[in-house]
Structures are given as C-alpha cells and as structure tokens.
Amino acid sequence: MATAPRTLTTIDHDRSAAGLTYVYPVVSRRARGLSVGINLNTNSACNWRCIYCQVPGLVRGAAPAVEFKQLEQELRAFLAEVVHGDFLQRAVPAGMQRLNDVALSGNGEPTSAREFDRVVETVGRVMREVPVPPETKLVLITNGSLMHRAAVQRGLVRMRELNGEVWFKLDSATRAGLERINHTGMGPARLRANLEIAARLCPTWIQTSVFLLDGEPPSAADRAAYLDFLADMLRTGVPLKGILLYSLARPSMQPEAPRLAPVSDAWGQRFADEIRRLGLAVEWNP
C-alpha cells in the first residue's frame, strides 16, 4: 500500500513521499490534480544543472540502469491504491482529488535512461491493466537535449499512442541564457531542432520558468529573443500545443538559490499576453 505520511501540497515534491524508489506522488499546480511521478534518475544525476532545480545533491550524469521488475511492481500497486483505494481522499487536498497524469520526471533528465522506450512501454501497459481513467495522460517532463536518440524517438511515438504529451523545457532562447540558467552548452539552434523532433512525434508543450535573478526579471532582450524563437517555429509549421509558463513555488537546492525569487503575478500575466499575441495558448502559474 502507498504510504501518505502527510497531506501533499503544491510546494512539496518529496520523491520519498510514498516510501518507494521509482514512484512518488505530486500535487501539481499545472496539472491541477495528482501527478504520479516516475523518477528514473534515482542517482540524482542530470546532464544539465538548472539554477532553480529543487533536487538536493544534484550531480552531472545520466540515469542508472532501470530495475524494471521493481518499477512495474511499484507503479502497479500505487496506481491501484489511487484508482481503487482511498489515497486521493487521505493524501490530496480537496479540489485536487483527481488523477491527472503519470509523469516521467524525477531527479534528472528521464530520457537519459538508455531503456527509455522500454520504460514507456512498461508504464503504458500498467496504466492499461490497472486500469486508470481513460483521460489520464502520460507526460514526459524533459530538457529535450536527447531527442536525437533513437530510443527516445521510439518512446515518443509510443507516448502519442498512449494519450501522451511532452513538456519541453525552454527557459531561454539565447546561448548566454541557456548557459546562465541551465548550465548547458547547447545552443538555440540545436534546441530548436530537438523541439521540432518532439513536436512532430508527440503533442508537445513548451515549459518555461520565469523568475527574478538578483532582483531582475528576464530582460527585454531575452524576452524578445524568446518571442522571436516561438514566432519562427510557428512560421515553419512546428505543431506546438502551447506554453506552460510558471514562476518559482519551491526553493532551489542549487548554489544560486539566494539570488532567485518569483516574478510577480502581474509581470507573468503581461509576458503571457505577449506570447498569446503570437497565436499560442498560454497557461500561467505564478
């Protein structure tokens, strides 16, 4: 049985909340319900280091080999407790007591798992056999850096067949911004190519974090580059679902934490309106 030592909140994404290795519950602001997370990066390793990352002890690297028997057992038992038991009633706040999705996320970049396509197949089979409500989504939360891998692309094709969608990180459209925020050497051109791969294989939302750094929100130049990036994708027919725009709700566990703070709701609303004028749907979460 899934443990629930406390009522879950939107500001607590403790990966050990259910006492399991791979599976953890999250009350998500963006999902507006319960998201069942799958943490493939049990070693807290990621190929990026985002300055707002909430993972303690984050290291550079890739996900370890997946123990599929354990993953399947944990996911099957947890989903059964959510769907057929009382987990929602005893652990999820009123108004959010619904299963929204199963999310491949966790303590690092999930697509760094070499068996990513097999993970998607396993998760999809368990969701079907439990079964979860038909509207339950399978979500991949990714920095998009490994979309060129064949196993990742096979996984995205299968996700599309499973009512899946991709949440693709795009915090900056400049090389300097990507280095400053995400500590990656990947440039905008490569990121754009990867985003197009994802969007053509599976329904894809862009996920963008906006925040104050040393008391300042993203500059006018950074915002203009971001809007130009989006406009170019629209001009070339890349099928984006829209933008998930959000600020900080939980403290960073990175050295830059004292330098970070949320933007105001008014600032976020203004930026969301700028994006909407391009013709894209925007969901803003302060």
Q: Name the domain count of the chain.
A: 1
* Adjacent-strand bridge partners of 53: none
Whether residue 166 lies inside any domain: the answer is yes
Whether residue 64 lies inside any domain: the answer is yes
Whether residue 136 lies inside any domain: the answer is yes
Whether residue 4 lies inside any domain: the answer is no
Whether residue 14 lies inside any domain: the answer is no
Q: Which amino acid is at 67?
A: E
Closest CA to 102 of 198, 24, 212, 4: 24
**What mean pLDDT do residues 15-21 have?**
69
Whether residue 243 lies inside any domain: the answer is yes
pTM for the full predicted model: 0.92
Whether residue 185 lies inside any domain: the answer is yes
Q: What digits encode the pLDDT tens for the residues 173-228? A: 999 999 999 999 999 999 999 999 999 999 999 999 999 999 999 999 999 999 99
Q: How confident is the model at residue 13 (pLDDT cuts 50, 70, 90)?
A: very low
Whether residue 15 lies inside any domain: the answer is no
Here the CATH number for the domain that contains residue 27 is 3.20.20.70
With 0-12 / 13-18 / 19 or more C-beta atoms within 10 angstroms meaning exposed / middle / buried, residue 105 is: buried
User: What size, in residues, is the chain?
Assistant: 286
**What mean pLDDT do residues 58-73 have?**
97
**What mean pLDDT do residues 127-142 have?**
96
Please give the residue range of the domain that contains residue 125. 23-284
Q: How confident is the model at residue 17 (pLDDT cuts 50, 70, 90)?
A: low
